[in-house]
Chain A
């Protein structure tokens, strides 16, 4: 697991939080530094204070009640014990406390599916869950799909079928696809897959290729997550 995590840390969306190495010059780190300095330079103190507060707290909310809660999560097979505020949303904790930024924040209100991840093997919208609700749960994010450097069959099929344009909805699409392919209640025909995938919106309109990728991955997912 440690090796896998290190490998993730060397990836394009490299988080620096857990790594012992200095932050690599990645797109994310570059944007982060640009964001902070850009805002400070371009705006008054009030706005930069708001931005700083938002950066510190998951969900950027008020924390009047103040109490934090201990939550034990197993994320991508790795145990974590976290202190979270009551109003810390699962999606934000994944992204900001665990630096697992593969799970995307789209609409943030359960309408787009970009934040889809698995809790105990079940696909849910992580934007509509509190981290504190998941004490003891096993969570799989997009970062947990590949095994030993091998893409999950669904990831491989998305790559082969060019099942994305901008890519923002892609992690959520793939997490839904993985769950759907494992669900014996969901038919194998195209119409059933389209219906089951309707909770994942793609504004680029890559639906045709997404469907083709899922159908290609079907039958190759045995033994995969």
Chain B
């Protein structure tokens, strides 16, 4: 059976599973409705939150960014700490209080707590900007996945993906049903860990990838640490060592902080904690969500580092048992004929991997041609007549998908990874599109512009908004401002600078008032968005950036990915200053704050 057929079978089977569960759970939830909203168990809710949360960025993109980072894998640890540490903030600073508040949307809380329609509208605007940015990242991931598994170009993959997201989100049957997400989580986590177990066992003799990462390199005899082996091989070829320290600690600190507080400010994640039965469950739900997320996140560095080593030893077969340069590079003829290297040919067809035999010697030399002049590889390359790195392009976002092929794992594992990647991207994309459309139709149009909107018209507005959002994000996804995980990181920066401070101050301060919150969110949003647009292009439109997106141009070396933490600080300061020179919130608002601080009397969450 061809790989293509296998992919179709696995992807098709998982889709049928989701649809089946959606039908089954829909009937069940009607019964539940009459049994007075017992709600969902924290463990189940945690698993569904994990599926909602882990998108193309976590599944497809993150390990690849860690694997291929020009500054070394360690410097990308911000993704690992940031996208998990945020749950600590969520559990302690937001979830229990928002559950006690007992309404369903983030703009609603902000509107009520700051007794202002303007604040609510501003929250809607922030939510839309955050979600659209986030969806662009998902579109990129969906495009990459489809291009490979349907063997078409990335652009065509993106169009196919957008069409599926459209059907998936507009019909909406699969979203909001917790059990479908539980199934998606299970598919996703199996697809992510199975190849990792195989590869870890092969490279380190330890089947647990988390232990393999810190274990010894087995094919070399087992007396060298795996990380030491990886560092040795990549530095020999002129690249930065995987464990190499960061050269910009401030930027790494701010990037991690941005992702953490952004996590706690993401509207579609927060919403999940509004629906648990009790305040105590909101706390433990965050813990369970993190357990399920950590299953992927603690494996990711092993996936990334092992994929990097496997890629390098594929290009330099001698590196398996000795140094890379002790034998010849892989030859073009081998790539074209050997079945175990067919993955290179199929990825070449997508345009996401490029090989160019620059010096025409029939061998493909993979090395860092931008290494310093005094690096041994530079001299070696000159002596041997190399004309530059011949593995011209390896897109970060292909690493996880190509990983099982690079390691020559069986076809069904490859197909499973495809199904997992699509589960991750589609569940999150659909969830975000629903968040956008409900923000526009419910909070914006019905909540303030036209309160007498009929239910039927509201649904129509929601569908139009969703269609518009898909078109915009598909168009921007054709030329994304970065790899999937980087685009998503920008969304987190925006959430960090706007929603998180407003929510936190709304709970932990009785003094921050309407004026302060509005000014804080506005300044946080503008400050962060402008800093991002200057480097990434205005509204992410390619070519409209004012400064090149390189470290040399950043203020204090702070990248646009990291600016959200600074934006959050600015938000807090502005809100505090403006509040302290304007009137305190009315008595009933201060009472509201006092009441959300204690769990007693939470009751069932109410819709609007």
Q: Do A and B bind each other?
A: no
Residues of B with Cβ closer than 8 Å to A?
none
Residues of A with Cβ closer than 8 Å to B?
none
